[in-house]
Amino acid sequence: MKIPATILATVLLTLASAAVAERPAATGAADPQAPVAPLAYQSPFSAYRSFADAAVNPWKVVNDEVARIGGWKVYAREAYEASQSPSPVPAQGGSEKPSAAPKAK
């Protein structure tokens, strides 16, 4: 099988132009006079926020508040009632499951 001359010439010219384009520039890393971008340093800790304890009330105040509400039994009753209530019915329109994708043949 013979390759037409135009295709062969196109391939050779493409390869030759790629080889010429890869030549290093006149100024390189070894040139001491080459311009260099200034160095900039940013610490990875520049945006660091130190840990701070959250403000808490004294334990006596917190205990009195729980006693005023009704103690641990109120929290237990709320959790029990929440577990006994039926789950809400999803709204019509966007809650249906997407149909299965058709099988590829």
**Any idea which of 1-5, 23-27, 46-50 has the lowest mean pLDDT?**
23-27
% the chain with pLDDT above 70: 69
- Pair of tokens at residue 50: 């130190």
For residue 12, pLDDT over 60 is answered with: yes
Least Cα distance to 11 among 66, 19, 63 occurs for 19
| Phi-psi domain of 82 (left: phi exceeds 0; alpha: psi -120 through 50; beta: other) | alpha
State the distance between the two ends of the chain, measured CA to CA, in whole angstroms: 39
Average pLDDT value over all residues in the chain: 78
**What confidence score (pLDDT) does residue 89 get?**
63
Model confidence pTM above 0.75:
no
For residue 24, pLDDT over 60 is answered with: no
Residue pair 72/66 in contact (Cβ under 8 Å)? The answer is yes
Question: 102 falls in which pLDDT band (50, 70, 90)?
Answer: low
Q: Where in the chain are the domains? A: 58-84
C-alpha–C-alpha distance, residues 86 and 76, integer Å: 18
For residue 20, pLDDT over 80 is answered with: no
Per DSSP, 101 falls in state: P
Question: Which tens digits make up the pLDDT trace of 43-76?
Answer: 999 999 898 888 889 999 999 998 898 888 888 9
